[in-house]
Structure 1
């Protein structure tokens, strides 16, 4: 059976995921068979494995660092929020149902056998498991039935490293307060603390480190400098959604829907030197972008109603009438059609008028489509771009007269295109770099900016080269 180490944090965003990723790579480089594990993840950014199962993206990155394919055993429980008080529950990669917070709290202990089964199965195949906690172990109102933080640490007898975020301030209070709120037997599990995201002269920090060790009785294992890293974020609280690249040649506006999901689709665009990506949630900040992206969402009908109420739907239609390109992905694609039908109450029972920008009708169903795909874009101006991605959605969209966006290898048509409006279910469509390159060059041509073409092409070629070589160097 594998040995284990657990990384817990004083709060969400303290840096647990990154440190687990780093430990997975370090242990692998030292010759150990290592795998990540997070018993429960709450995130709207998910991933489909090769066998068509759904899991959180953070454990996918950690698996890659460990030299492994993504495996749902690494994240047996995934919660995908669909409202302020409810989430879709996914267990071992498959949808288990929709639960409000109180319902889930009452039933969550029934998931412990499945969590432990996944853990012990991984433990039989590896030398080390690096476990990631969730939120904070000092959430004393949620301690009963915990199988994510100290509860899991007790079940698998894991030593714990506690991580605090100094960048947001109050790191000594974070660490000391967390330790103080733990039960005595839980404190004994903490083998050390780590201060993350430090900027400045570490010598000025040392007196505080000594005092912290004295007060907690736990050694400070290290201070991690603030580092800009490009890994997928877990949820829509990510500071990435507040970033903007105003100095770049092109302005891409992504609508920040209330239940936005898989916004990691746009990470490759943010890395392109020509594309300035910004996230918009009001007509006031929409402006006159070069292109608009309507992302995926966990609640298509509710988010369309939100856009309708705040004026964004009308504003997007005006931009399309002026020829501004609009691309909808997954839930965004569903919104672009003529009608949304929900006879089974998957989101909200009834029929809703769509934006009417594509001749499509979406009918929701309780069966979730989860599949990895390859495709080739068959519509101008992106014709020929090779895509690799995955579908993850409830229901089916019928194209009733528009050109398809792309073709699967067997000739099946996917998505819809009408004029400058594009719709597709494919997440990860920009990851290969080919669609990103074609889109950037097309938008630069439309804007009359030609000097950047060579930069864009060279960048895209470099991204594709790194992708081809990553398996050799990982």
Structure 2
């Protein structure tokens, strides 16, 4: 089990790396996180919702994601409450106190059953903790850290992040706040995100080993440029005024400037990882009127609280900026962002917001929130033959849908795509999204739309042509880059950690990359 001294210390990526390494060594391996809190989610092949980190970890293990890898997903609603997703479907909406004090024990049998199902099918399970196991105010009803370690009888590796400072104090404090039997479960510790000369760190490591009476399994260097999903918004580089602003330029070779509005309830921000990684793109996550100036494309992203985020945009004056910009510029909306661009959002069941909220009116659509969430992996084709006024060759699209709400087309509306759900045999196809006749404003429910290399490159080509910029000369292959990043991460972990010791914790043998082919 991978535990951390706090959130965002690297638990998720280390778990992914270990999944990749065990798989490379020829073992059947699967990830497991009993409870995840994140607005960044994914869809399994069966059309069920799980945390995106567990989907990445399954990808690292070379297997399909399963709802049993993350049986409970908490999606914060912004008002001290969360939507509770149990085995991929909405279970309820509760305040934090109601969930932790009253309901969490109801879910522990489900958690145990999911874990045992995975464990029966694999040689090893890599569990991931949440936050810190030493949150003593929540510990009594914690089902994701030490209690889950006891259920799984897991050996635990404690990870500290030196990049944020205070790593030795956080390691020591975490262990000392645990009960003696919990301390015994921690077999060793790891220092993550180190920059510099490791010999300067060694005296502190030796002292920490003496204080904890536990070995240091290694020091992982800071790895930049990994094209892998962040677990939560702590990793989101929101422009708070400290980024260099875009300057007006007539250089046809300049980067295409994409502004993504960083909504308060921004969900599935990994939708933009592939765009951000393109060498021809400068992408900023923006929260003010000034930050949107000089943007070539403005995108309203997904939202967990769509109506509330629309009202926030109005309070910040971003609605006027977007409406003025849309007269001549390029605008996109993904999922909740598309709903915001529509005429109206009606929530009769109070799923997210009470009543009716007028949208920005840039797309002729009307959305009504419904109690059941639509979750499915979908693929299909782009409906229009042009985008941003530029002719397109026929394009296949792929991605996944996670949304509350059914969107109805108003007079004159043109769909953006025709899709088919992979998991629904009876689905003969459904219309998705909307695009204006001029092709400058569009919306889609399809998350992961920009992960598709063909669509992303066509999108960038069309946007650059619209502004008279030079054609793209260098592009990324996103799936190849992800695979390279997973292998780079796994190779670094192999080189940096005492892998024979970790494999021994699981009662398995580590042969190492040199002997792997002979062993298999």
Q: What is the TM-score with the length of structure 2 in the denominator?
A: 0.85
SS at match of 1:135: coil
Establish whether residue 443 from structure 1 lines up as the match of residue 454 from structure 2: no
Task: Name 1:385's counterpart in structure 2.
Answer: 395
> Is 1:236 aligned to 2:216, yes or no?
no
Partner of 2:358: 353
**Is 1:453 aligned to residue 472 of structure 2?**
yes
Q: SS at the partner of 2:294?
A: coil
Cα distance change, pair 215–465 in 1 and its aligned pair in 2 (3 A): closer
Structure-1 separation of matches of 2:153 and 2:479: 43
- Counterpart pick for 1:123 among 104, 119, 122: 119
| CA RMSD of superposed structures (Å) | 2.1
1:448 to partner: Cα distance: 2.1
Pick aligned residue for 2:432 from 401, 406, 414 = 414
Contact persistence 2:333–2:341 (CA under 8 A): yes
| CA deviation after TM superposition for structure 1 residue 349, in Å | 2.3
Q: 1:427 aligns with which of 447, 466, 478?
A: 447
Deviation by residue 1:268-315 (Cα, 9 ceiling, x = unmatched): 101111111100111122212000010000000000000011100111
In 1, Cα distance between equivalents of 2:129 and 2:329: 44
Unmatched runs of 5 consecutive residues or more in structure 2: 248-253, 421-427, 491-520
Q: 8 Å contact 1:377–1:383 — kept in the other structure?
A: no
Alignment of 1:37-436 (within 5 A): 37-106=32-101, 107-228=103-224, 229-242=226-239, 249-321=255-327, 323-379=328-384, 380-381=386-387, 384-400=394-410, 401-408=412-419, 410=428, 412-418=430-436, 419=438, 420-436=440-456
* 3-state SS of paired residue (1:370): strand
- Deviation for aligned residue 1:233: 1.2
Structure 1 residue 411: deviation in Å? 5.6
Deviations 1:142-200 (A, max 9, x none): 01021111111112211110000000111101101111111111111110000000011
How far apart, CA to CA, are the structure 2 residues paired with 1:85 and 1:468?
38
Contact conserved, 1:35 with 1:63, CA < 8 A, in 2?
yes
SS at match of 1:124: helix
Closer, same or farther in 2 for the Cα pair 1:23/1:114, shift >3 Å?
same
- The residue number in structure 2 matching 1:3 is none
Alpha-carbon separation, structure 2, partners of 1:465 and 1:11:
31
Q: C-alpha deviations, 1:110-162, integer Å up to 9, x for none?
A: 11000000000001000100000000011000010211111111122111100
- Quick one: which of 20, 27, 41 aligns to 2:22? 27
Q: CA 1:399/1:76 → structure 2, altered by over 3 Å: closer, same or farther?
A: same
Q: Which consecutive unaligned segments of at least 5 residues does structure 1 have?
A: 1-5
Whether contact under 8 Å (2:33, 2:54) holds in the other structure is yes
Deviations 1:176-229 (A, max 9, x none): 111111111111111000000001111111100011111111111100011122
The alignment status of 1:12 with 2:18, answered yes or no, reads no
Structure with higher RCO (Cα < 8 A, 6+ apart): 2
SS in 2 for 1:144: helix
What's the secondary structure of 1:188's corresponding residue?
Answer: helix
Q: Relative to structure 2, which stretch is displaced further, 436-445 or 422-431?
A: 436-445
**Structure 2 CA distance for aligned equivalents of residues 463 and 24 of structure 1:** 21
- Name which of structure 1's ranges 329-338 and 237-246 shifts more when overlaid on structure 2: 237-246
Residue 426 of structure 1 aligns to a residue in which SS? coil
Report the Cα distance in structure 2 between the residues aligned to 1:237 and 1:469, rounded to whole angstroms: 24
Deviations 1:232-256 (A, max 9, x none): 1122221444596969611100000
- Counting matched residue pairs gives 461
TM score, norm. by length of structure 1: 0.93
Flag the 1:466–1:215 CA change in 2: closer, same or farther, 3 A: closer
Residues 134, 148 of structure 1: 8 Å contact kept: yes
